[in-house]
Amino acid sequence: MKKLEEYVLSIPDFPEKGIIFRDVTSVIQDPDGLQLAIDTMEGKIADLDYDVVAGAESRGFIFGAPIAYNNHKPFVLIRKAGKLPRETVSVSYELEYGKATIEMHKDSIKPGQRVLVVDDLIATGGTTKAMIELIESLGGVVAGVVVLIELAGLKGREVLKDYRLDSAICYEGK
């Protein structure tokens, strides 16, 4: 049986020279890779008590929805601004080259609910921190964060030092 890391394709010099791009699409395009990814992520949080799973567009949906389904929990969508039809809460945050805004439905998290945040990757931690701000603005409690890949060299873990963070794969570089 292959190790999870063997399903991730590493693309050198993309999107620019000196960067190694960790491609998660190679994981989800292989049925064994996808199953191993979900099982590994669930194993990392097996001891975690949570009520709701939240994931960011779009790859957070890919990994978060099966975790929610397998554990009979609701799944909450966090989307780019303007994509949700009902009343929303939003937060804007800085990206490497600009700003982004994400939203979630105002009624998606109830005060006191324990939320598991799921995404494909953590790099600088900016998007994850913004997701946490949204959840907490509705009175939710972030029980933990689980990601498929952590790029430790970009120090996202430091940005999230007050939260439990589990990663299925951790690459030391950027």
- Could you list the active site residues? 59, 96
Phi, psi of 99, deg, nearest 5 = -125, 160
Rounded Cα distance, 73 and 65, in Å: 9
**Unique residue bearing structure tokens 């990206």:** 95
Report whether 76 contacts 119 (CB < 8 A).
Answer: no
Q: Measure Cα distances from 118 to 1, 47, 59, 97, 144 in Å.
A: 25, 16, 9, 24, 9
What residues pair up with 91 in beta bridges, in sequence order?
102
Cα–Cα distance for residue pair 14/16, rounded to 1 Å:
5
Tokens matching residue 93: 């945050």
* C-alpha to C-alpha distance for 58 and 146, rounded to whole angstroms: 15
